[in-house]
Amino acid sequence: MALHVPKPPGFSQMLKDGAKHFSGLEEAVFRNIRACKELSQTTMTAYGPNGMNKMVINHLEKLFVTNDAATILRELEVQHPAAKMIVMASHMQEQEVGDGTNFVLVFAGALLELAEELLRMGLSVSEVIDGYEKACKKALEILPDCICSSAKNLHDVQEATALIRPAVMSKQYGNEDFLATLIAQACVSIFPESGSFNVDNVRVCKILGCGVTASTVLHGMVFKKEAEGDVTSVKDAKIAVFSCPFDCMVTETKGTVLIKNAQELMNFSKGEEDMMEAQVKAIKEAGANVVVTGGKVADMALHYANKYKLMVVRLNSKWDLRRLCKTVGAVALPKMTAPTPDEMGHCDNVYLTEVGDTQVVVFKHEKEDGAISTVVIRGSTDNLMDDIERAVDDGVNTFKVLVRVCKMWDSCPGLEQYAIKKFAEAFEALPRALAKNSGVKGNELISKLYSAHHEGNKNIGFDIEGEGPAVKDMLEVGILDPYLVKHWAIRLATNAAITVLRVDQIIMAKPAGGPRAPQGNKDFDDDD
């Protein structure tokens, strides 16, 4: 008879076997803070232009070499529940403004680290939270006073380049001038007078070979595909888009055809050919001169497409097909029928060209509103091009933020004053991270920044290109950050830190499923 071991009295007595329960400062709060600090310190070394790259291999064994915090976190798949809150705040920052994800992680980590000091000194969690909330509110009130420059004309490529450059510099230090110019040209070329800007309208096409400086901007959509037929260029294109294969329609049920002699076989084949020709001819007579299909292209259909001078392009990706429909104003038809004028799209020029040694099909749009521009990235390796793509993404999102706003940031009674002081101290983590990643002493830099700011020079910042802990006027050298990036980063990082601090108990149920397979030698049955 098995010996029954009673559970200890308390909360754990109410839970099933295998459940875990942690409570109190030591077990819950400090444990959560420690996990968030570890995550923050991981990405802190990737902060700024001199930040180190991380090599991440995800669950699909795909390799990422990058210093982009959003990509690192997305591929790491963080499991700790408290650290996940910081990750969610970072993802929210990415969705809201597209930049400043590492700022959120570093700042939230600093807030929690300083909160731990206050809690160990004897302050209660509620006092720390109240102090942080008041300090955050005050910081967001002060932030508009720190605005030092405004975007006057976003239709000017030079001005847009200067404003996008700092965001690109943090990802591609050394190539920022060239890439910022490309991104500015791509954004300005599709920025309509109406003032509405869509991030999806700037696409990226990566073509291996040559170098970064061979990258270009093409006005329109670019696909790494070849034209299927003989026609390789069409002007004033009327485009019919089919989500089905460019082939004969087949019946849903199977049928059997009994052929008794050669004449019947010829008639059967001739009937199939006539039907195919009638379908292609109907498409041509509807006014279309370009056919885009999402499936395979049959040889017979291609023969008649060449006969009627139809250009045929095959796109395997449904996402590409939807994006093209949106660009040219077409409707993707589910079966091969003649399109109506409303269902056809229009494009000024569709042609096949060569970039490097890669054949590409370009859908060029001269129209201003709703057009798409594509940044064609060249590079020696896929990892390098992926990193440049992330830099382009940050630059385009910075332009979007500028379009949204068109502008570029002690007296409290009670114990909350200590938390407010620590909130202000947490901002030191950012210049300290920049200094550490640049090989400079952080304390010397902080003291220089404090003295410059006390003298009223609010635009003074860390000069990463200077000797030692040098400082410089950031407005003069054109290193500016959009107001909304800082606004959302402070807000989200504070909210994430407060959410973590509010947790005083962790209750984990027993994981579902049976026992796990042994992780050791997979071939343990084999005799060596």
Asked if 194 and 369 count as a contact pair (C-beta separation under 8 A), the reply is yes
What confidence tens digit (pLDDT) does each residue in 278-306 have? 888 888 888 888 899 888 888 888 888 88
| Rounded Cα gap, residues 470 and 460, in angstroms | 10
| Rounded Cα gap, residues 4 and 235, in angstroms | 85
pLDDT, greater one: 298 or 524: 298
pLDDT over 70 percentage in the chain: 88
What confidence tens digit (pLDDT) does each residue in 166-191 have? 888 888 887 888 888 888 888 888 88
pLDDT of residue 493: 92
Token digits of residue 96: 């809201």
pLDDT of residue 515: 67
Predicted TM-score (pTM) of the model is 0.77
Q: 157-169 and 176-189 helices cross at what angle (nearest 10)?
A: 130
Specify the DSSP class assigned to residue 246.
B
Query: Does residue 334 register a pLDDT over 90?
Result: no
| Rounded Cα gap, residues 393 and 294, in angstroms | 27
Q: In the block, which residue shows the tokens 């990750």? A: 87
pLDDT, greater one: 38 or 26: 38
Token digits of residue 59: 């669950």
- φ, ψ for residue 54, nearest 5 deg: -110, 140
Other Cβ atoms within 10 Å of 375 Cβ, number: 25
pLDDT of residue 410: 44
In terms of average pLDDT, the best of 123-132, 353-362, 499-508 is 123-132
Burial of 201 (0-12, 13-18, 19+ CB in 10 A): buried
pLDDT of residue 109: 92
| Rounded Cα gap, residues 274 and 281, in angstroms | 10
- Of residues 485, 488, 399, 472, the one with CA closest to residue 163: 399
Asked if 495 and 107 count as a contact pair (C-beta separation under 8 A), the reply is no
Asked if 87 and 73 count as a contact pair (C-beta separation under 8 A), the reply is yes
Query: Does residue 368 register a pLDDT over 70?
Result: no
What confidence tens digit (pLDDT) does each residue in 75-84 have? 888 888 888 8
- Of residues 92, 94, 96, 103, the one with CA closest to residue 51: 103
- Give the chain's mean pLDDT: 82
The gap between the terminal CA atoms of the chain, to the nearest Å, is 42
Mean pLDDT over 336-359 rounds to 84
204 torsion bin: left (phi>0), alpha (psi -120 to 50), beta (else): beta
- Give the H/E segment covering residue 116: helix 101-121
pLDDT of residue 168: 86
Other Cβ atoms within 10 Å of 365 Cβ, number: 20
Mean pLDDT over 145-154 rounds to 78
What confidence tens digit (pLDDT) does each residue in 428-444 have? 888 888 888 888 888 88
Q: Which residue type is seen at 38? A: E
Asked if 47 and 100 count as a contact pair (C-beta separation under 8 A), the reply is no
Distances (CA, A) of 310 to 73, 229, 288, 316, 494: 47, 8, 8, 19, 59
Strand locations in 338-408, DSSP E?
345-355, 358-364, 373-379
pLDDT of residue 407: 38
Domains of the chain: 12-148+408-508 (1.10.560.10), 216-379 (3.50.7.10)
pLDDT of residue 408: 37
pLDDT, greater one: 286 or 9: 286
According to DSSP, the β-strands at 216-223 and 373-379 are antiparallel
Using DSSP's 3-state secondary structure scheme, residue 333 falls into strand
pLDDT of residue 112: 92
| Rounded Cα gap, residues 268 and 279, in angstroms | 17
pLDDT of residue 108: 92
What confidence tens digit (pLDDT) does each residue in 434-487 have? 888 888 888 888 888 888 888 878 888 888 878 878 888 888 888 888 888 888
Q: Do you know the residue count of the chain?
A: 528
Other Cβ atoms within 10 Å of 249 Cβ, number: 13
107 confidence band (pLDDT: 50, 70, 90): very high
406 confidence band (pLDDT: 50, 70, 90): very low
